[in-house]
Amino acid sequence: MLAVTFTGATHAAAPGLSGVEGKIQYCEDCHGSSAQGYRGFVPIPRLAGQQPEYLMNQLRAFVEGRRPNSIMSNVAHVLSPAMMHALTARFSKLNPRPLGGAPTRNVARGKTIFQDGDPGANVAACAACHGPDAHGHDEVPRLAGQLYPYIIKALTHWSQERGRIPSRPDTSAIMEPVAHSLTRPQVEAVAAYLSTLR
Amino acid sequence: MKRNKLTIAVLAIMSFVAPAWAGGPGNVDVRNCTWCHGPSAQGYAPAPRLAGQRAQYIFNQLSSFNAHARDNPFSKIYMWPAAANLSPGAAHYLAVYLSSVPPKAAEDGNPALVGLGRAIYQGGVPDANVAACAACHGPRAQGVGEIPRLGGLAFAYLQGRLEQWREGYDASALHPMPHVARQLSSQQIAALASYLSFIK
């Protein structure tokens, strides 16, 4: 009975197992063989261990144009909701070592900014939302182990890359003033710290 | 991954103890390359253009020939012996020198396939799980770091490299190329090779 149900599902709404496996490998072609991220021509983010709700929101943001990115828009457009759920569930369960490769001299400074913020510059503690272990929750992303150049690119281009449909505001609006307040050295320090976390 | 870190480390060390050979085209190791790869390293017949290629990529390929990992027939016949007695210092010198020679585009692909090739290169084929080449090789196919420049390489070389991965050669190449090539049809490979051959 179970087998019949499963076979039926592969031909109807839910994507087949081989369909999910093929798509996982396709994602990992760019995001790294264990979804640990990869430094391509642009930094390609780590997906491993990411919050599934965050990944779902980003895939929808690529489709809707809230997050303009021609390659990821192409990728996300052909994914059914069932496939998106299957992929995000799988990636959220992976836990490879961080890719690494960031400069180490600013890690301590980055830790202070992440855990305590910079009250004088109106920068909130990142840990307040992303959690003291930087693992995130729901639509708030995990940052632990994320690529150093990816975090830098995200924080220094925040308002160009996120929340681009004003009539459809999303959670990215919360980060806009924070990203704006951080200085470049602070961004580099936080990125270096996060890239080391498991 | 380990091998990668090692080669990067070797490159870093070698850049501090650069050999004091006479530089340029007259260097004996450079002459050994240009016998086959053309007098200004622009490629000749099956031997690919090396001019303008990324230094780290050239170094990694020489290591790969030396370790007999890149194992397609021409590599075995020509490049295994050519790389057999190359010291890391000599390989580093060749990589840096060849990367500095200005490249010329082969422009020898099929012009009718350029549009299809551009679409695959820039956007991938999401329904067929073909990743967009541009994400790693760059919007102008210029490459970066250990990721090779593809723009302007000869049609036959580009086509052959992708076909060889599909046939199972060079299976230990850096993730993800052996897998990516297996997602491509022969026509898609011909289209990519055509498009890339015209990029300057």
Q: In this predicted complex, what is the ipTM?
A: 0.88
H-run or E-run covering B136: helix B134-137
B176 to A33: CB separation less than 8 angstroms, yes or no? yes
Summarised one tens digit per residue, pLDDT across range B23-65 is 678 888 898 999 999 999 999 989 999 999 999 999 999 999 9
**Could you tell me if B57 and B143 are in contact, meaning their C-beta atoms sit under 8 angstroms apart?**
yes
In this prediction, residue A4 carries a pLDDT of 42
Cβ neighbours of B147 in A, within 8 Å = 40-41
Phi-psi region for residue B44, left (φ > 0), alpha (ψ -120 to 50) or beta? Answer: beta
- Position with higher pLDDT, B111 vs B3: B111
Q: What is the pLDDT of residues A6-60, one digit of tens each?
A: 443 334 445 555 799 999 999 999 999 999 999 999 999 999 999 999 999 999 9
Chain B CB contacts of A42 below 8 Å: 135
Q: Do B130 and A77 touch (CB under 8 A)?
A: no
Give percent of chain B with pLDDT exceeding 90: 82
Q: What is the pLDDT of residue B25?
A: 80
CA of A190, closest CA in chain B: separation in Å?
24
| Residues B147, A40: C-beta atoms closer than 8 Å | yes
Nearest chain A residue to B127, by CA:
A78
Q: What pLDDT shows up at residue B42? A: 97
What average pLDDT score do residues A185-191 get?
98
Collect all residues of chain A within an 8 Å Cβ-Cβ radius of residue B131: 26, 29-30
Question: What's the pLDDT score for residue B26?
Answer: 80
**Nearest CB to B134: which of A28, A71, A75?**
A71
What DSSP string runs through B42-92?
Answer: S-BTTBPP-TT--HHHHHHHHHHHHTT-S-SHHIIIIIHHHHHT--HHHHH
- Judged against a pLDDT cut of 50, whether residue A147 lies above it is answered with yes
pLDDT on residue B45:
85
Shortest alpha-carbon distance between residue B91 and chain A (Å):
24
* Amino acid code (one letter) for B166: R
Spatial CA neighbour of B156 closest among B188, B185, B194, B184? B194
> Using one digit for the tens of pLDDT, what is the confidence trace for B136-164?
999 999 999 999 999 999 999 999 999 99
Q: Which of B123, B131, B135 sits opposite A42 (nearest CB)?
A: B135
Cβ distance of A39 and B145 shorter than 8 Å: yes
pLDDT (tens digit per residue) in A52-94: 999 999 999 999 999 999 999 999 999 999 999 999 999 999 9
pLDDT, tens digit, 9 for 90 and up, residues B108-133: 999 999 999 999 999 999 999 999 99
Note whether B175 contacts A33, CB cutoff 8 Å.
Answer: yes
